[in-house]
Amino acid sequence: MGKKDNRQKALYGKDPWKIVETEFSPDSNFLDETVFALGNGHFGTRGTLEEGYDGPAGTSMEGTYVNGFYEKVPIHYDEPGYGYATHTETMLNLPNSKVIQVMVEDEIFSMFTGSLEHYHRVLDLQQGILWREMRWISPKGKIVNIETQRLVSFVDDRLMMIKYTITPVNFSGKIMLISMLDGHVHNHKSENDPRMGTSLQGQTLRLERIDQLGDMSRLLQVTTYSKLQILTGVSHLIQSDQPYKRETEIHGQMAQHRYEFSAEQGKRIGLLKAAVYLRGDRNHQENLWEMADKVLNSALEQGWAHYHFLQQQVLEDFWNNSEVTIEGDDLLNQGIRFNMYHLFQSAGKDGYTNIGAKGLTSEGYQGHYFWDSEIYILPFFLYTQPWRARKLLEYRYNTLDKARERAATLFRKPGALYPWRTITGIECSSYFPAGTAQYHINADIAYAIRHYVKATSDYDFLKEYGAEIIFETARVWMYLGTYSLQRNNSFCINTVTGPDEYTAIVNNNFYTNAMAKMHLHYAVETDQLLKDLYPVEYQRIAAKIQLKHQEVTKWDEAASAMLLLKDEELGIHPQDDTFLEKACWPFDSTPSENYPLLMHYHPLDIYRHQVCKQADVLLAMYLLSDQFTLEEKRANLGYYTPITTHDSSLSRCIFSIIEAEAGSAEEAMNLFIKTARIDLDNHQGNSHHGIHTASMAGAWLSLVAGLAGMRLKGNELYFSPHFPEKWKSYGFRLKFKGNCIKMTVREDIVELELLEGEKVSVTIFGKKYRVSSDKTLTIEGRGDV
């Protein structure tokens, strides 16, 4: 696998609303499974084939995941230390309910035997289904038409449906459909790639109960260590007037339903299969066993068409709020919509789950949630489905107690330190130099809350959840920082790791200090805001967390005294105290196959050099845009671009944004393009191990914040769009304070429509406009209405 898929452009067609495959190949199969994965925020399943896979080893990985459903495993350290993460949580590979094997007379249907006369696989971004149709000629010459349709329901989170249709073309005879629920599953072994895998070995799901009742099978399992229950159920409906007989069987944790038809040439045989994934821990009051029965029966009763229709309804709504269009580049259109679609499929919606680095398409990074959620992904939801952004933030509130425990362990003081990677809120990073040391996670979360509140005016959220997080997390900076006499009594934060993981354990990382300053100031601002507007709520929070005025004053002082490095000669912000003194990475003598560097060089070797995996100073320049001049942005861009490898998928989008603002639109465009099709073109070479959710959202940011120059200042939106050179036009829709705005940029014209809401102020090219619902705002050139 790997980068070889890269060569072939447009592996999935050019339809801007469809991901289309017309040729099946084991070369791309592993990647296909990721691309064609379905999900609904609660669970997801890889785009594997119903009939199973007979291709070469290492070109497929079966996987179905319930968001946040995990096994908890102790972390072994050969050399343990105080305060190390004690356990890791791994999102579990769950029973496979997709299996439908086919026997045509005595031949087993497989993509690897006989021949395909026709083959089509499509993920439809407007219909919300995955379908496959083909004409298969068996080795013995039997011809069948097969059509499969699959959906993971957006309206019933627990439900997947598969509609399987087979028609004998040139014969009458026996056709058998063997449908399974296969509970013999385990997570895949890590390949010594730190970005992959897990230390889980073998099956960790234990059988609690399994049964079959007519066309239904139910399987209740419990995890070995975390003691979580999962019920997987399947049920079937035959849609055929051909006679058939049914046999059922259970082997261990696997249930089988065999339907043997006496098929007549030319007559369709249909099998509708419904599957449910119910987790027991948060629904323990209900009877999972009976609930599965109900959901499955109701699903089969309502039928495929019903759920199919609802998929379209939900997506129509989604695209109405968030559609992005690039006229003149279908591949980009396809790429960015594919990204948005996958984000939509991946993000948790219940306040207890979030969005993993690989969404629900793989167990890579163990299904962990990172800062990606707040810094990269949240803006997309915030401006398209703000309620989902709120849910992602509520997740942090719901894990605040665990962050408090972590702070207590590390500092023996009040406050909260969020984990670098986690499912339930405990620190799961076993490598603290690029884990716990990335204290900026606290500021990232604070930033996201600030962003959310300013873009939505949802003060209800702030007083119920946000403020408490802001205060508790702010406290930690006071333990980490110190006033340095040697440096003019500046507030210094030593021994940290910033976003750039190619530098670790340094002092005064620019991003960390800048974000900590923002965080502390915002904590002070929030303190005042709550006192003024919600004194009762304020009292409740202050009493709960023992917050005193004196403490807030110290935050203010520290924020004001924060050391922000600047090298006057170069006109740039050094990434940390000693970054500029290090030797530059020997790029000239580094062969291209040695990227990403982390896979080919020891961390110490990398840390010793000026080389960045990803945006660090530049990320601060985007997030805290106001605090930097254009000149500064240009200088830093010029300095950091040649030493940044973009080995992290979180990097190019940020460079693209800064390029758009301060550099060249062309370079911004190039970076955007690489980001926008990261998984469809497998740019990182590892998309077979799952999508890159942060980068997918980053692509959206590259367009909206990059090319269109959107910034939130105060409580208002600012734009400064680049006019498209390569395209006819580009445009996008945004939700903002309850309004829905549509911006279109073409040739020399910027158009703004208000699709929902009555009026809204926006600033374009530095000039403020009021847009109302009755009239499209049209600006020609750079500011003349």
Question: Which residues make up the interface to a copy of itself (CB under 8 A)?
Answer: 75-84, 88, 190, 192-194, 199, 409-411, 429-433, 435-437, 480, 482, 484, 486-487, 492, 494-495, 504-505, 507, 577-578, 580-583, 598-605, 607-608
Least separation in angstroms between residue 545's CB and a copy of itself is 22
Least separation in angstroms between residue 352's CB and a copy of itself is 24
Least separation in angstroms between residue 209's CB and a copy of itself is 33
Nearest by Cα to 621 from 607, 606, 636: 636
Beta bridge pairs of residue 133 = 120, 147
Least separation in angstroms between residue 419's CB and a copy of itself is 13
Q: Which letter does DSSP use for residue 552 in this model?
A: H
Q: How far is CA 538 from CA 227, 324, 468, 535, 549, in A?
A: 38, 41, 9, 5, 12
d(CA 244, CA 242): 6
d(CA 385, CA 737): 11
Burial 577-610 (b: 16+ CB within 10 A, else e): bebeeeeebeeeeeeeeeebbbeebebeebbebb
The answer to whether 33 is a known catalytic residue is no
Between 193 and 241, whose beta carbon lies closer to a copy of itself?
193
Beta bridge pairs of residue 601 = none
Between 101 and 409, whose beta carbon lies closer to a copy of itself?
409
Token code pair at residue 770:
């009021």
* Side chain identity, residue 168: P
Q: What are phi and psi of 518, to 5 degrees?
A: -55, -45
Beta bridge pairs of residue 212 = 217
Q: Which residue has the tokens 């089969």?
A: 300
d(CA 235, CA 424): 32
Burial 454-464 (b: 16+ CB within 10 A, else e): bbbebbebbbe
Q: Which letter does DSSP use for residue 665 in this model?
A: H
Least separation in angstroms between residue 358's CB and a copy of itself is 16
| Sequence-distant (≥ 6) Cβ neighbours of residue 539 within 8 angstroms | none
Q: Which helix (H) or strand (E) is 247 found in, with range?
A: strand 244-251
Least separation in angstroms between residue 679's CB and a copy of itself is 23
Least separation in angstroms between residue 559's CB and a copy of itself is 18
Q: How far is CA 275 from CA 64, 216, 268, 292, in A?
A: 12, 10, 23, 9
Between 151 and 606, whose beta carbon lies closer to a copy of itself?
606
Catalytic-labelled residue, pool 501, 537, 551, 659:
501
Between 110 and 610, whose beta carbon lies closer to a copy of itself?
610
Between 250 and 580, whose beta carbon lies closer to a copy of itself?
580
Between 7 and 76, whose beta carbon lies closer to a copy of itself?
76
Neighbours of 107 (CB within 10 A): 17
Least separation in angstroms between residue 487's CB and a copy of itself is 7
Between 193 and 525, whose beta carbon lies closer to a copy of itself?
193
Q: What are phi and psi of 160, to 5 degrees?
A: -120, 145
Least separation in angstroms between residue 434's CB and a copy of itself is 8
Between 486 and 546, whose beta carbon lies closer to a copy of itself?
486
Between 126 and 494, whose beta carbon lies closer to a copy of itself?
494
Contact call for residues 124 and 17 (beta carbons, < 8 A): yes
Token code pair at residue 546:
């023992």
Helices 467-480 and 549-561 sit at what angle, rounded to 10 degrees? 60
Least separation in angstroms between residue 432's CB and a copy of itself is 6
Least separation in angstroms between residue 80's CB and a copy of itself is 5
Token code pair at residue 464:
């119920």
d(CA 70, CA 424): 9
Contact call for residues 203 and 185 (beta carbons, < 8 A): yes
Beta bridge pairs of residue 309 = none
Please say whether the dihedral angle defined by the alpha carbons of residues 592, 597, 598 and 600, taken in this order, is positive or negative.
positive
Q: What are phi and psi of 561, to 5 degrees?
A: -90, 5
Nearest by Cα to 575 from 625, 663, 512: 512
Q: Which helix (H) or strand (E) is 522 found in, with range?
A: helix 510-533
Between 285 and 486, whose beta carbon lies closer to a copy of itself?
486
- Find the DSSP H helices in 546-686: 549-561, 603-607, 617-623, 630-640, 652-662, 665-676
Between 74 and 252, whose beta carbon lies closer to a copy of itself?
74
Least separation in angstroms between residue 173's CB and a copy of itself is 53
The 8 Å CB, 24+ separation contacts for 623-632 are 623/375, 623/447, 623/515, 623/518, 624/514, 624/515, 624/518, 625/661, 625/711, 626/711, 626/713, 627/514, 630/661, 630/662, 631/571, 632/571, 632/572, 632/573
Least separation in angstroms between residue 585's CB and a copy of itself is 11
User: What is the CA 566 to chain-centroid distance, rounded?
Assistant: 34
Between 36 and 585, whose beta carbon lies closer to a copy of itself?
585
d(CA 326, CA 179): 42
Between 77 and 587, whose beta carbon lies closer to a copy of itself?
77
Beta bridge pairs of residue 741 = 734, 754
Contact call for residues 579 and 508 (beta carbons, < 8 A): no
Token code pair at residue 429:
């990073």
Catalytic residues: 501
